[in-house]
Amino acid sequence: MGQEHGPYDINQIAHMARDGSLKPDAMIRSATAANWFPAKEVPGVFSDKDMVVTAIISWLVGVFGVDRFYLGYTGLGLLKLFTCGGLGIWALIDLILIILRKVPDADGRPLR
């Protein structure tokens, strides 16, 4: 196998997830056991919202702000709804940012 790093505490794992250096499907190991599991299973590190679902919502009804409502941004969702997604430009930019994993949920956690 590869080189082992760590063990890391939960704060370090959350920081690495926010920085983008830890992906949701990365395999990590518990400090107390030898079991490996995906990083997305650590509670509180990644959002409960899925990136693929968010991208599909943004593509289909992003002009109406449904993607922002889904992520918990009520104010931005209303603004996007009333402006028709910034006449489509804001909706397109949001779709690109979601695909590039640049948009977290309302709590600041990266999407799964």
Q: Kindly report, residue by residue over 41-80, the tens digit of the pLDDT.
A: 778 788 888 889 999 999 999 899 999 999 999 999 999 9
Handedness of CA 63, 64, 68, 70 (dihedral sign): negative
Contact 42, 13 (CB under 8 A): yes
Lowest mean pLDDT of 8-12, 81-85, 108-112, name the range: 8-12
- Where are the chain's structural domains? 1-46, 51-99
Its pTM surpasses 0.85: no
Question: Inter-axis angle of helices 89-99 and 74-82, to 10 degrees?
Answer: 140
What would the pLDDT profile of 79-107 be if each residue is shown by its tens digit?
Answer: 999 998 888 899 999 999 999 989 988 88
